Amino acid sequence: MKIYCSEFGRQARTIMIFVILICVGIFSKLSYAEQSLLTLQNGEWHQLAVPLNSLIHTPRTIAGTSLDYDEYKLTWTIFGYAEGEYYEPALEDPLQPGTAVWMIQLSGQDVVLEVDIGSEALGTNVDEKCSSE
């Protein structure tokens, strides 16, 4: 009987550890999904894809705390394309889900953005043909 209880205790501990590891993995993925890091190279255009099922993204939410809001349209900006024309949204203008915008920053160094993205990430692509350097 002692062997059975000892074996049962090991199995229970193993199951408990397994459940804890699964919970830690799930919660770490959930917290990771709330933020994404994007590195914007100085002087290079970056294409950002705004997902269909996303939170509301604006130039302010994309910049987060990494870029100075007062410098918008001076040292960094975002351009979109709609109805045959390029446009530069205001800092608080929501970006249309399912579209792409282009972003550039000219601070003199690379900038890492911590984007609050909820469950859907902004996609990014660097267009080397449009590099400003």
**Domains of the chain: which residue ranges?**
1-33, 35-130
State the pTM of this model: 0.62
Looking at residue 30, its pLDDT comes to 40
Distant-in-sequence, close-in-space partners of 40: CB < 8 Å, separation ≥ 6: 46, 76, 103, 104, 105, 110, 111, 112, 113
> What are φ and ψ of residue 129, in 5° steps?
-70, -20
Whether 119 contacts 51, CB under 8 Å? no
Looking at residue 113, its pLDDT comes to 87
Tens of each residue's pLDDT in the chain, 133 residues: 454 555 556 666 656 655 554 544 444 444 444 567 889 999 999 998 888 776 778 999 888 889 999 999 999 999 999 889 999 999 999 998 888 899 999 999 999 988 655 544 455 555 555 544 4
DSSP characters over 74-92: TTEEEEEEETTEEE---TT
Query: Cα–Cα distance between 5 and 21 in angstroms, integer?
Result: 24
Looking at residue 10, its pLDDT comes to 63
**Residue 70 gets which letter from DSSP?**
G
